[in-house]
Chains A and B, each alone.
Chain A
Amino acid sequence: MHIAEGFLPPLHALAWTGIALPFVVISARRINRLMRQQPQIKLLLAAAAAFAFALSALKLPSVTGSCSHATGTGLGAMLFGPSIMAVLGAIVLTFQALLLGHGGLTTLGANVFSMAVVGPWIAYGLFRAARGVNLPLAGSVFLAAMLGDLATYMMSAGQLALAFPDPASGITGSFLKFLGVFGPTQLPLAVIEGLLTVVIVNFLREYSGEELQSLKFLPETLAVEARS
């Protein structure tokens, strides 16, 4: 989902930067507030950021004979709420744009929007919906993390399609082409992201009951049960 440097026309690059910026600003405020109100949560926040850092660095092979990477943003979105992730994702993407030649500064806004805004919001929304209809915790986490990962790549395909409509079939045709590039490769990786996120959440449930409770991640009874 890293749109390479210069690969969005100036107007698109500017527009996505403008769209992503308020999310990052709100995210920074929310992180500040969270740190003030619940300083004991800092370590878990660092762990969620680290999860995204590690996963987005690993290029994994896919059944299509291509490589791609997971995003790791679903975990933090489910734990802390989706708006927290914009800053964390922006840090990862800036690091990669400046030091790894991966992504770019002109496309940073577009990439932040797909990976650090859309992915987390979809993951969070699906997680809440799944819990709302009483799906088990592990299943909800798996679905949310997996589909959040896929949503990020769909968004990237959409951004590229808007910038480069197919001369014959238009934006829709172009979207399907880009989706055809990202989608099949990403599918198994999204499953892997889902599995790894469940592993971490299972661990947290066993050892970090108090933190999960103060984040209202678990209903009271579950958290108590996990602590004992």
Chain B
Amino acid sequence: MKHTISLLVENEYGMLTRVAGLFSARGYQIDTLNVAPTLEEGVSRMTITTHGNDHVIEQIIQQSRKLVRIIEVTDMTVAPHVEREMVMLTVSARPGEQRQEVLSLVEIFRAKVVDVSNDSFILEMTGNAEKVGAFIELLKPLGIHDIVRTGPVAMTRVAHIKAQKLKDDDEEFSELTLNEKV
């Protein structure tokens, strides 16, 4: 089963290879990997998606916790959380019908056109893995020239905040419910 593991790490020399080395030495898979700073200086958040049975996932978590510079390891998959990744695509968009079709997909998926040329767009879209996948599938017949994906990042949902408040302030929340309906 696919799991999203979130690691809070001291951002020091060689930290990425410590984590990547642990995974390769023990035969665990890294499907995607994302590293970026947090609000606290010197501390980074790594988000890794991986897969394996419960035993493997438990070992990944326990072995990661043993790395001296890892502050916290969380298996996001076991608790309510929001997961997002960003994709950028260069797609064919010749003036006329094709361009209109791309724009309508952009509208439906709440994507953005971030660059325009005579016969192509660069699109930017954020969503969970399924939504990103669906967007890519629909664009394929129209012609995708290039694609980059960040891999997912994840955040635990704060359960005690009222759903109503989230709905007002957070566009992501309505997207989430939209996806859940689909």
A in complex with B: no
Give chain B's interface residues, CB within 8 Å of chain A: none
Give chain A's interface residues, CB within 8 Å of chain B: none
